[in-house]
Structure 1
């Protein structure tokens, strides 16, 4: 089973530390990381910084486009009022086929703010509960979308090589 997850942390460095933790969990066989991205938003900055990992080289370009679309729309498109709803709606049309709905996008946009960070991951064959236990010390919150096999295929076809 493939999952799209977003782990939100209450400080700008939490997601980077969690990403290292996720890589360690992968090396121990607890989870397979298809790809991940880190968003860090220090207090006082107008926008967050993003870092895409490209964990899977053969999928890197396609997933890079996915992360660019997702993170760019959520955090870098100047959105005010009604334009915010329109941008999130347009993004949702692109991501619904892979199990990421408008409500989840709005939640991510509302919760990842200045002074926080987030780890975005596409994983498979993992025990999210056991991986989540490793994040308790980071004061993180998990927002997860478990993707069906059809959604996984759509994700890989849409954003794959």
Structure 2
């Protein structure tokens, strides 16, 4: 069973930085993500979703391949490519997997303009190591399917941003 986690950040750049950090942890097999989407509240009130990859582009590429193949059979590969790409793009646009887009838009509507939310669908996680790597990144937990204890640990790790920043600043010697 997967867990859902939504973390709010003050900017899209900060949310992207944390998403890249989590994708790096996935390469080290510390976490397995089913989906990782950034939602940004625009000044006009609309919510922009930044998916990991575009299902429309994947559908268009697959459709173009099969359209070309079928086009060769009827001696019209260019027509087949165009029709295949168009139908593949349409089916890709209508396909949704991972976290529901409508849910993400609804949950992000409460964000302040310019803020971003990182939506994570976590399949597996080595909790202690992931929380250690997330120490000091900032952010605020908006929603989660974690139990209360794990949620409190996560919020504490995210909130340790001020502690981590102070640890990196060397103490200055008094001037004479």
TM-score (norm: length of structure 2): 0.50
Whether the 8 Å CA contact 1:2–1:146 is kept in 2: the answer is no
1:132 match: secondary structure? helix
For 2:129 and 2:8, how far apart are their aligned partners in 1?
A: 17
Structure 1: tracts of 5 or more residues without a match: 76-108, 148-161
Shift of 1:2: 1.8
For 2:138 and 2:38, how far apart are their aligned partners in 1?
A: 16
Question: What is aligned with 2:26?
Answer: 26
Provide Cα deviations, 1:84-114, integer angstroms capped at 9, x if missing partner.
Answer: xxxxxxxxxxxxxxxxxxxxxxxxx53x321
Aligned length: 108
Matches within 5 A, 1:139-158: 139-142=138-141, 143-146=143-146
What root-mean-square deviation, in Å, do the aligned CA atoms of Structure 1 and Structure 2 show? 3.0
For 2:113 and 2:107, how far apart are their aligned partners in 1?
A: 13
2:133 counterpart of 1:134: yes
1:67 to 97, 100, 103: 100
For the pair shown, the structure with the greater C-alpha radius of gyration is 2
Whether the 8 Å CA contact 2:12–2:38 is kept in 1: the answer is no
Whether the 8 Å CA contact 1:5–1:120 is kept in 2: the answer is yes
**Cα distance change on mapping 1:54 and 1:129 into 2, 3 Å:** farther
1:137 match: secondary structure? coil
**Cα distance change on mapping 1:48 and 1:73 into 2, 3 Å:** closer
Shift of 1:54: 5.2
2:136 match: secondary structure? helix
Shift of 1:34: 0.9
Structure with higher RCO (Cα < 8 A, 6+ apart): 1
1:134 match: secondary structure? helix
1:131 match: secondary structure? helix
TM-score (norm: length of structure 1): 0.54
Whether the 8 Å CA contact 2:39–2:118 is kept in 1: the answer is yes
1:49 match: secondary structure? strand
For 2:140 and 2:132, how far apart are their aligned partners in 1?
A: 11
